[in-house]
Amino acid sequence: MQALKANIIEQIETAGGRHDEPQIYSGIPGDNGLCGGPDSISWEINGDFASVAVAGLGAILMEVLHPSVMDGVFTQSAYRTNPLSRARNTLGYVLRTTFGTTEAATQVIERVKLVHSRINGTRGDGVSYRALEPDLIAWVHTCIPWAIMRAFERYNRPLSLSEKNNYLREQAVIGRLGGAEWVPESVAELDDYVERMRPMMAFNDQTRQFTDFLLGTSGDVETSRYQRFDSWMSLQGSMALMPDWARKMTGTYHSEWVDRLSFKQNEKLKSKLLRWALPTLPCKTLALKRVNGEPATARQNNDRTNKSSEAILS
Ligand code: HEM
């Protein structure tokens, strides 16, 4: 069993990074960071790696249903040439902004804003955009806590309405610091906002190519038949967290009984395995010690390089 656990942890770290840097998660005693600290619902939800992992693909696909976001990512991102780095940096952003020291969290937000300040363009249909447009930042921001919250309540434990409202309110701090003027801070606002955004969403040729990439069928990366099947199952399962209209638009809609018998079962099993192997994220352990003023203890297996320190986030 220990070997299986070690193997799962290794796979998680290879794909997503370790996220245990003391310079980011340890620091001044009592520093709760940006999302409220140990008593916040953000620490419980974002500390559940299983929920964050299951939500990831769905959040990404929802983000790029906005054609301006899709164009920015399609034309100006290194996702094709360096997908692992992108995945680690995006996960690192979520974890640092929740569990990092106030200074480290603010720094990463500023660095990513700098990256975004250089991203702009004109879509195929002639619409110009800038990544730092507050409305675009608001949409991308919203997709992340929205998907994670849905994964948590489906595969971890039910959440009360006030817990969900608190989570969105805590996470909104990150969205605003990232450049949004307004982001939904309650379930009612989220539902209303998604309905307002829905007419702007599209599944165009760029989205099709991007989806093919996520599924390992674009030819950019060599994939085995098993890897393609696994990616397909994961994408269907993650999109099963999102509304039916988005699933229909992206070709990931299945009937309720197919969902129940296959994708939801698969995600449930995956969540249980991930939670069993990694019940507490190292960054949350370090952050808890920081807040409580306890010394951070070095990890046993420091023989591997810390793969979460990547490019602009390091
Ligand atoms: C709150 C909203 C957003 C968050 C949290 C976010 C997150 C990130 C992060 C963490 C990175 C750095 C990743 C890396 O270094 O690999 C990044 C880069 C990038 N983002 Fe965003 N992003 C947001 C909004 C947007 C929007 C609205 C667009 C497009 C219109 C966009 C397009 C890009 C592109 C093209 C890159 C460069 C990636 C690369 O070099 O591969 N982002 N974003």
User: How much is the pLDDT for 300?
Assistant: 46
Strand partners, 121: 129
CA pair distance 294, 297, nearest whole angstrom: 9
> pLDDT tens for residues 227-243?
999 999 999 999 999 99
Both tokens assigned to 251: 């070709």
User: How much is the pLDDT for 298?
Assistant: 57
Spell 260-287 as b/e; 16+ CB within 10 A means b.
eeebbebbeebbeebbebbeebbbbbbb
Q: Which residues line ligand 1 (CB under 6 A)?
A: 68-69, 72-73, 76-79, 85-86, 89-90, 93, 112, 115-116, 119, 129, 131, 136-137, 140-141, 175, 178, 311-312
Q: What is the largest CA-CA distance in the chain?
A: 56
* pLDDT mean over 125-133: 98
**Enclosing domain of residue 241:** 2-25+33-306
* pLDDT mean over 119-131: 98
Both tokens assigned to 156: 């971890």
CA pair distance 57, 77, nearest whole angstrom: 17
Taking the CA of residue 144 as reference, the ligand 1 atom at the shortest distance is 5
With respect to residue 302, please indicate whether it lies within any of the assigned structural domains. Answer: yes
Taking the CA of residue 78 as reference, the ligand 1 atom at the shortest distance is 41
DSSP letters for 209-274: HHHHHHTT-SSSS---HHHHHHHHHHHHHHHTTS-HHHHHHHT----HHHIIIIIHHHHHHHHHHH
Residue 83 — pLDDT band, cuts 50, 70, 90?
Answer: confident
CA pair distance 167, 44, nearest whole angstrom: 10
* pLDDT mean over 55-82: 94
With respect to residue 311, please indicate whether it lies within any of the assigned structural domains. Answer: no
With respect to residue 313, please indicate whether it lies within any of the assigned structural domains. Answer: no
With respect to residue 235, please indicate whether it lies within any of the assigned structural domains. Answer: yes
- Length of the chain as a residue count: 314
Q: Which of 271-275, 288-292, 302-306 has the lowest mean pLDDT?
A: 302-306
C-alpha of residue 144 to centroid of ligand 1, in Å: 12
Give the contacts of 106 (CB within 8 A, at least 6 positions apart): 34, 177
Structural contact between residues 5 and 277, judged by C-beta atoms closer than 8 angstroms: yes
Helix or strand or coil: residue 18? coil
**Residue-averaged pLDDT of the chain:** 93
Q: Which of 73-82, 121-130, 186-195, 273-282 has the lowest mean pLDDT?
A: 73-82
Q: Which of 74-88, 124-138, 164-178, 265-279 has the lowest mean pLDDT?
A: 74-88
Minimal-distance CA residue to ligand 1 atom 28: 131
Taking the CA of residue 68 as reference, the ligand 1 atom at the shortest distance is 30
With respect to residue 312, please indicate whether it lies within any of the assigned structural domains. Answer: no
Q: Which of 41-50, 219-228, 233-242 has the lowest mean pLDDT?
A: 219-228
Ligand 1 pocket, mutate which of 19, 63, 75, 77 (most atoms under 8 A from CB):
77
Ligand 1 pocket, mutate which of 88, 119, 135, 307 (most atoms under 8 A from CB):
119
Whether residue 284 has pLDDT greater than 50:
yes
Minimal-distance CA residue to ligand 1 atom 1: 141
Both tokens assigned to 38: 């140990």
> pLDDT tens for residues 55-64?
999 999 999 9
* pLDDT mean over 280-297: 94
* pLDDT mean over 239-263: 97
Whether residue 93 has pLDDT greater than 80:
yes
Domain total in the chain: 1
Whether residue 304 has pLDDT greater than 70:
no
End-to-end distance of the chain based on CA atoms, in angstroms?
A: 34
More confident residue, 171 or 297: 171
